[in-house]
Amino acid sequence: MSEQESLPPQTPYEILGDQGIKALVKAFYEVMDTHPAAKEIRAMHAENLEPVKSKLVSFLVGWMGGPPVYLAVTGTVCLTDPHAAFHIGPRQTEQWLLCMDEALIKVNASQELKEMLKLPMEHIANTVRNQDTSDPAPRDPNLIAVGR
């Protein structure tokens, strides 16, 4: 066996493959759909999770080191625009990361894979975060009373 062949897998994509990423994303949205701590971010999503499921699969395939399928379809890997309509602060970011942690457990991900993904997942979730606070600022009822 050459030195090249004896090297361990280098990327999460090499470890999981397309099927593994599909299983991870399926588990991720199952957790989001059922975990009481994820209620708030579940409510931000459409009733039907199938469209976002396939988008997250194609995004993660490229992000984890596989072919850039999301880029090929959308022309970008920037996630700012698709999240701009949602209030994503620290609490919502924590909820998303909790779903990912639980999903990794559900698919029996190895400790090695969990460690490999931990910091990059936190990093990308914080990149998607678009608010410093977890709750939207309350609206001042006087603004309505004076007809502004």
Binding site residues, ligand HEM, CB under 6 A = 41, 44-46, 52, 55-56, 59, 74, 79, 82-83, 86, 88, 92-93, 96, 124-125, 128-129
Minimum Å gap between C-beta 122 and ligand HEM is 9
d(CA 128, CA 97) in angstroms, rounded, equals 12
Q: Given the structure tokens 């090499």, which residue do they identify? A: 14
Nearer to ligand HEM, 88 or 109 (CB): 88
DSSP 8-state code for residue 77:
-
Minimum Å gap between C-beta 20 and ligand HEM is 16
Three-state secondary structure call for residue 35: coil
Nearer to ligand HEM, 115 or 122 (CB): 122
Which of 115, 100, 83 shows the shortest CA–CA distance to 21? 100
